[in-house]
A = this chain, B = another copy of it.
Amino acid sequence: MRSVTIKDVALHAGVSKKTVSRVINKEANVKDETRQKVQEAIDHLGFKRNPLGMALAKNRSFFIALLADNPSPGYIMNLQKGIMKGCREEQMGVFLYDCSYRSPTLVEEIESFIDNTLADGLILAPPLSDKSELLDMLDRKNISYVQIGAKDKTRGDFVDMDAVKAAYDMTSYLLHLKHRDIGFILGHPDQYTSQRCEQGYRMAFADANLKVDESLIVQGYYTYQSGVDAASVLLNRNTPPSAIFASNDEMAVGVLYTAQSRGISVPKQLSIASIDDTPIVTKVWPNITTMRHPLTSIGYRAATFLIGRLKHKHAGANSSVNISESNETFHCDLVIRESTTLFTG
């Protein structure tokens, strides 16, 4: 069952293939009458442009890919939703490529993924956005990308959220609830966002003229298990904190588990808070107070940036101006739920 091609349409409409091409690409300079004739032929024959033909001729695939290795399924899902929306609007396909950040051959794997799919551009979710060898390879191959939550903001487009402010706001809220011993669980040390969160935590204390108890800051890795472990450390103290603020939801859920399995009542005996607002946080009991990370908007924006850059890149010689780097920073809103309450020590 051969499908109908541009050639069939041309024949049917009595014009050249080029003219059909003009019509389907909505180019100017086609007589209305001709355009209509062609359009009728298209409708009549049920013609649909074969993207592969176009891809080969234009030397671009019209696919982009989301590269991810993130311990939080909800994080990726939300991001993905926004990216898909952006891509659908622009008729771009989205590949999902799940990689293992720790793989020693990560960069080669991704390179061969690109060679195999010819993806036009990439969206890099953390922690991949923090991997400079990867960025080097992409630059060398001249592949466009946009980073989410980037460390290296000197190159390429990026979109992120204001992590300092997010952590600041949450810490301030906890302080406002009269908590003073607030355990803080860091994210992965390799990730830029993690450092930014720590900064926000410290700033909130400073602004409240309070001193940070360094022993209350413990290392995590953004995974559920690291939340469990960090909570154990914090809860094993002679004077456990009255609140624990985890840098992401997954860890907060781990904290919740640890507390509950020890018979500690949340929020009565321990308040728990986090950043992200992924779906899991409204599924556990009690629902967790968190900062709403607008991941869907971020994904949408990232897709928009990437597609814009791709368009510009292929506009080519006629506009040799290099468009400046695009970036946008989103803010997170505090969402108060059941896991935090006033300190009544």
A interface residues with partner B (beta carbon < 8 Å): 1, 48, 50-53, 55-56, 61, 63, 73-74, 77, 80-81, 84, 91, 93-96, 98, 115-118, 142, 224, 250, 253-254, 256-257, 260-261, 279-280, 283-286
A76 to chain B, nearest CB (A): 8
User: Given the interface contacts A73-B279, A118-B52, A261-B286, does A96 sit within 8 Å of B94 by beta carbon?
Assistant: yes
A234 to chain B, nearest CB (A): 17
CA distance A117 to B116 in the complex (A): 15
CA distance A91 to B73 in the complex (A): 25
**Copies of the polypeptide in the assembly:** 2
* 20 extra interface residue pairs, beta carbon distance < 8 Å, beyond A63-B117, A256-B285: A50-B118, A51-B118, A52-B56, A52-B118, A56-B56, A73-B73, A80-B98, A81-B98, A84-B98, A93-B95, A253-B284, A254-B283, A257-B283, A257-B284, A260-B285, A261-B285, A261-B286, A280-B280, A280-B283, A283-B284
User: Given the interface contacts A257-B283, A260-B285, does A115 sit within 8 Å of B56 by beta carbon?
Assistant: no
CA distance A53 to B116 in the complex (A): 12
Residues of B within 8 A of A73 (CB): 73-74, 77, 279
A42 to chain B, nearest CB (A): 13
CA distance A77 to B96 in the complex (A): 11
* In contact, B94 and A95 (Cβ under 8 angstroms): yes
CA distance A53 to B59 in the complex (A): 10
CA distance A128 to B83 in the complex (A): 22
* In contact, B51 and A116 (Cβ under 8 angstroms): yes
- Of all chain B residues, the one with the shortest Cβ separation from A66 is B96
Residues of B within 8 A of A117 (CB): 51, 63, 93
- Of all chain B residues, the one with the shortest Cβ separation from A278 is B73
